[in-house]
Amino acid sequence: MKCTNCGQENRSALKFCKKCGLDLTLPPAWFPDWRWHIKTLSWIYLVLIALFFALSYILHKLPPPYAQRRIPDEMTPWLNPHKVPAK
C-alpha cells in the first residue's frame, strides 16, 4: 500500500507510514450515533416483547396438559392422616 503523502511503499499491516508517519488506517465508513443505538435497541426490545406476548398467546391456546386424575386417599394416607378410611 502506497503512502498518499510521500509515495513510500508500506506493508499493508502497518498503521503508520514508515517514512513520514502518516496515519494509514482507514476511518470507518459509517459510525452509528446514539440515536441509531436507541432506535435499534428499542426495535429489538419491541420485537422481543411482541414475541413474548405472541408466544404466550399461542401457548394459552393449546389444550391443557393431560388431565390429572385424583389419587385415591387410600394410596396416600400420609397426606390426610385423620381421614384414613376404615378397613
**Which positions lie near Zn ion, rule CB under 5 A?**
3, 5-6, 8, 17, 19-20, 22
Compute the least distance from the CB of residue 7 to Zn ion, in Å: 7
Cell for 82? Answer: 385423620
Residue 58: count of CB within 10 angstroms of its CB: 9
Compute the least distance from the CB of residue 25 to Zn ion, in Å: 13
Per the CB < 8 A criterion, the answer to whether 34 and 41 are in contact is no
Which residue lies nearer to Zn ion by CB, 6 or 54? 6
Nearest to 76 by CA among 86, 84, 68: 84
Residue 13: count of CB within 10 angstroms of its CB: 7
Compute the least distance from the CB of residue 12 to Zn ion, in Å: 14
Which residue lies nearer to Zn ion by CB, 19 or 39? 19
Which residue lies nearer to Zn ion by CB, 15 or 35? 15
